[in-house]
């Protein structure tokens, strides 16, 4: 069951991720990105990271991407035209070079990452909001507070940039 | 019993009840609004218009399904689907009652008791914006686009005070699971006042409840915040170009969201399925007494009829109500029916408040709406949250 769900949502994530790049219309790309985030949230759930899954949906899919879509609609951006003629080199060498690149990448990752015991579904149980909160306020207090100050500075910066000059 | 079989059974019951409520909520709304405006409301189809929802469903199903030529086909079809799916999903985590035992099977009266239940609802409602925004954009119509943009801006703005209002009772309860949240609101102070979060010491959450409900009006695009579909400015807003069942999907989504918001308010603030006063003082006889009282009134009016046909309809309805009152007294059904009664009556009361406000208040202007969210509601929710946090920290020390 876990494996089935994993394969289903992993393929949805990959399909949507490819779709983000392939689509020519910005709204379609943005919504594909939302699809990627939703599928990722399910994968987090499968791994037992419930809080992260919920945060993924609330923050990324629900807040950030809504603003993206909102801005795209407000600007009424149209679809971009596909470039008409591709060069001969791209046409013939594109797919072989891409395959080689992916192969090299996977080889390097496999060598660099030590082979440990694989991830098994349902083993990790420390992903509830209670556990995450406890860790944030004990072990990771300093990074947490530093990040919050950073976010505050970013908010102030955004307000200063967005404010109209009053003359 | 098999887990899957049990879940499917529960899902079927809950979905059936939800869809039935959706259909009749709309009838109730039309009746209540009509009586507020001193009209009769639907009265032609069936007695007191009781079959009006059926007639509406048949009408919507058989209407021609127009697709305007310049729409973005895929998103035009996808938007109502998204809206109704997300609106109906949230009911899965709402607890209707405690753990009960039917035919030797112990189960919670809730589809799924997630330990992130509150976050789940927040997530679903924040993704729900896409349905309306996409409908407005894909219709390729300036009124629809304006409606969609207004709606997304409004829903993003009101999500903040709503989330802050939700956090305050969570501080008192110390859990994110909706089932546990209700269980912690059991019992009573001094044996009388229920320990619901609105009355909960050390910091009663009255302000939170009001902020939550106001934000709920905005989240469901209802009067006084129904700017996305303001008829006199935007025709019908984001669903201008929709007809037939696609329009019905948006309509149903709005009502489903209303039910979700009201059940959330019940669970978070009003003690979910906990009774109004302890069962030791006889609160479990309330439903039977209420139905029996209603039956008595009906039979009395049946014996002194104002209209000729009341002589038959009112006593018949009275007998049905008496039977319902009897069902609430049957010992094997009591542990199951009484909590559902309390949950349904609180949610129903809040739904009535939603309708009541619609009949009473005029619409806001758009700048007033935004200023109200950011300039008043957000600071109030924030102050309430800080005060609650301070008091909880001082008391728990």
Lowest mean pLDDT among B153-167, B275-289, B377-391: B275-289
Query: Looking at the predicted structure, is the pLDDT value of residue A61 above 80?
Result: yes
Interchain proximity A54–B152, CB inside 8 Å = no
Q: Which of B277, B113, B123, B283 is nearest to B181 (CA)?
A: B113
The mean pLDDT value for B213-236 works out to 77
- Tokens 């079959």 sit at which residue? B51
Lowest mean pLDDT among B103-112, B260-269, B285-294: B103-112
The residue among B346 and B201 whose pLDDT is bigger is B346
Query: Looking at the predicted structure, is the pLDDT value of residue B200 above 90?
Result: no
Q: Write out chain A residues lying below 8 Å of B149, CB-based.
A: 70, 73-74
Instruction: Look at residue A142 in the predicted model and tell me its pLDDT.
Output: 92
Instruction: Look at residue B70 in the predicted model and tell me its pLDDT.
Output: 81
Tokens of B122: 């927040």
Interchain proximity B129–A61, CB inside 8 Å = no
Instruction: Look at residue A128 in the predicted model and tell me its pLDDT.
Output: 81
pTM of the predicted model as reported, rounded to 2 decimal places: 0.84
Instruction: Look at residue B183 in the predicted model and tell me its pLDDT.
Output: 82
Q: Which of B18, B45, B50, B46 is nearest to B31 (CA)?
A: B50
Instruction: Look at residue A85 in the predicted model and tell me its pLDDT.
Output: 62
The mean pLDDT value for B347-353 works out to 91
Taking the CA of residue A125 and the nearest CA in chain B, the distance in Å comes to 12
Most confident of B169-173, B208-212, B322-326: B208-212
Q: Write out chain B residues lying below 8 Å of A57, CB-based.
A: 123-124, 126-127
Given a contact cutoff of 8 angstroms between Cβ atoms, the answer to whether B310 and B302 are in contact is: yes
The minimal CB distance from B145 to the residues A62, A67, A73 is found for A73
Break chain A down into helix, strand, coil percent, rounded to 5: 75, 0, 25
Tokens of B286: 């309330």
Query: Looking at the predicted structure, is the pLDDT value of residue A115 above 90?
Result: no
Query: Looking at the predicted structure, is the pLDDT value of residue A167 above 60?
Result: no
Residues 6 or more apart from B55 whose CB is under 8 A from it? Answer: B45
Query: Looking at the predicted structure, is the pLDDT value of residue B57 above 60?
Result: yes
The minimal CB distance from B123 to the residues A27, A58, A128 is found for A58
Phi-psi region of A79 (alpha: psi -120 to 50; beta: other; left: phi over 0): beta
B5 burial level (CB within 10 Å; 0-12, 13-18, 19+): exposed
Question: Is residue B393 less than 8 Å (CB to CB) from chain A?
Answer: no
Interchain proximity A58–B126, CB inside 8 Å = yes
Q: Which of residues 61-90 of A touch B (CB under 8 A)?
A: 61-63, 66-67, 69-70, 73-74, 76
Query: Looking at the predicted structure, is the pLDDT value of residue A124 above 90?
Result: no
Instruction: Look at residue A84 in the predicted model and tell me its pLDDT.
Output: 58
Q: Write out chain A residues lying below 8 Å of B152, CB-based.
A: 66, 69-70
Question: Is residue A52 less than 8 Å (CB to CB) from chain B?
Answer: no
Question: Is residue A27 less than 8 Å (CB to CB) from chain B?
Answer: yes
- Helix (H) or strand (E) holding B194, with range, is strand B193-194
The minimal CB distance from B133 to the residues A53, A58, A73 is found for A73
CB pairs under 8 A between A and B: 71
What phi, psi does B109 have (nearest 5°)?
A: -90, 65
Instruction: Look at residue A148 in the predicted model and tell me its pLDDT.
Output: 93
Local confidence band at B11 (pLDDT 50, 70, 90 cut-offs): confident
CB atoms within 10 A of CB A121: 13
**What's the mean pLDDT when you consider all of chain A?**
83
Interchain proximity A62–B136, CB inside 8 Å = no
Q: Where are the domains of chain B?
A: 61-274+330-396
Interchain proximity A66–B152, CB inside 8 Å = yes
Instruction: Look at residue A100 in the predicted model and tell me its pLDDT.
Output: 92
Query: Looking at the predicted structure, is the pLDDT value of residue B289 above 90?
Result: no
**C-alpha–C-alpha distance, residues B265 and B94, integer Å:** 11
- Tokens 């405006």 sit at which residue? B37
Local confidence band at A156 (pLDDT 50, 70, 90 cut-offs): very high
Instruction: Look at residue B132 in the predicted model and tell me its pLDDT.
Output: 84
Q: Which of B319, B313, B266, B316 is nearest to B291 (CA)?
A: B319
The minimal CB distance from B137 to the residues A27, A67, A129 is found for A27
Query: Looking at the predicted structure, is the pLDDT value of residue B320 above 70?
Result: yes
Question: Is residue B228 less than 8 Å (CB to CB) from chain A?
Answer: no
ipTM value > 0.85: no
Q: Write out chain B residues lying below 8 Å of A48, CB-based.
A: none
Local confidence band at B182 (pLDDT 50, 70, 90 cut-offs): confident
Given a contact cutoff of 8 angstroms between Cβ atoms, the answer to whether B192 and B253 are in contact is: no
Coil vs helix vs strand at B366: helix
How do residues A75-105 score in pLDDT, each as one tens digit? 776 666 666 566 777 777 888 888 999 999 9
Q: Write out chain A residues lying below 8 Å of B153, CB-based.
A: 70
How do residues B225-252 score in pLDDT, each as one tens digit? 777 666 666 777 777 778 778 888 888 8
The mean pLDDT value for B128-142 works out to 83
**C-alpha–C-alpha distance, residues A84 and B55, integer Å:** 55
């Amino acid at each position: 069951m876990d494996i089935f769900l994993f394969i289903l949502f992993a393929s949805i994530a990959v399909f949507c991720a490819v779709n983000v790049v392939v689509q020519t219309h910005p709204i379609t790309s943005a919504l594909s990105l939302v699809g990627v985030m939703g599928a990722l949230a399910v994968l987090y759930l499968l791994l037992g990271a419930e809080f992260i899954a919920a945060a993924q949906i609330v923050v990324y899919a629900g807040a950030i991407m809504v603003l993206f879509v909102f801005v795209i609609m407000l600007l009424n951006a149209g679809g971009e035209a596909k470039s008409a003629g591709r060069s001969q080199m791209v046409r013939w060498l594109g797919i072989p070079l891409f395959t080689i690149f992916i192969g090299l990448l996977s080889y390097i990752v496999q060598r660099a990452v030590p082979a440990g015991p694989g991830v098994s579904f349902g083993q990790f149980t420390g992903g509830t909001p209670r556990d995450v909160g406890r860790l944030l306020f004990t072990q990771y207090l300093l990074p947490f507070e530093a990040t919050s100050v950073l976010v505050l500075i970013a908010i102030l910066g955004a307000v200063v940039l967005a404010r109209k000059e009053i003359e | 019993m098999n887990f899957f079989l049990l879940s499917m059974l529960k899902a079927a019951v809950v979905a059936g009840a939800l869809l039935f409520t959706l259909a009749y909520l709309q009838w109730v709304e039309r009746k209540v609004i009509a009586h507020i405006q001193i009209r009769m409301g639907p009265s032609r189809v069936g007695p007191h218009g009781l079959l009006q929802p059926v007639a509406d469903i048949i009408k919507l199903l058989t209407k021609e399904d127009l697709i305007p030529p310049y729409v973005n086909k895929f998103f035009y079809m996808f938007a109502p689907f998204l809206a109704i799916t997300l609106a109906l999903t949230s009911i899965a985590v709402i607890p209707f009652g405690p753990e009960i035992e039917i035919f030797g099977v112990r189960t919670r009266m809730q589809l799924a008791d997630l330990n992130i239940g509150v976050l789940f609802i927040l997530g679903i409602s924040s993704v729900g914006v896409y349905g309306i925004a996409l409908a407005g954009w894909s219709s390729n119509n300036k009124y629809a686009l304006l409606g969609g943009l207004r709606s997304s801006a409004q829903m993003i703005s009101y999500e903040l005070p709503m989330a802050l209002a939700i956090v305050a009772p969570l501080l008192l309860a110390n859990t994110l699971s909706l089932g546990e949240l209700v269980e912690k609101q059991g019992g009573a102070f001094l044996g009388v006042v229920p320990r619901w979060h609105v009355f909960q010491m050390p910091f009663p959450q009255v302000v939170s409840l009001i902020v939550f409900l106001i934000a709920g009006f905005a989240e469901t695009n209802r009067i006084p915040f129904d700017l996305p579909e303001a008829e006199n400015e935007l025709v019908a807003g984001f669903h201008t170009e929709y007809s037939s069942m696609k329009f019905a999907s948006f309509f149903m989504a709005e009502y489903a969201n209303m039910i979700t918001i009201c059940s959330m308010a019940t669970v978070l603030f009003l003690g979910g399925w906990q009774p109004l006063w302890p069962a030791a003082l006889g609160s479990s006889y309330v439903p039977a007494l209420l139905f029996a009282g209603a039956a008595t009134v009906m039979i009395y009016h049946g014996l002194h009829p104002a209209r000729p046909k009341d002589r038959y309809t009112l006593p018949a309805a009275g007998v049905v109500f008496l039977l319902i009152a009897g069902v609430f007294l049957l010992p094997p059904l009591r542990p199951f029916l009484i909590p559902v009664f309390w949950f349904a009556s609180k949610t129903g009361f809040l739904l009535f408040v939603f309708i009541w406000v619609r009949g009473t208040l005029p619409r806001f202007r758009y700048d007033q709406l935004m200023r109200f969210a950011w300039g008043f509601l957000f600071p109030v929710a924030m102050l309430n949250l800080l005060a609650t946090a301070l008091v909880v920290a001082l008391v728990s020390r």
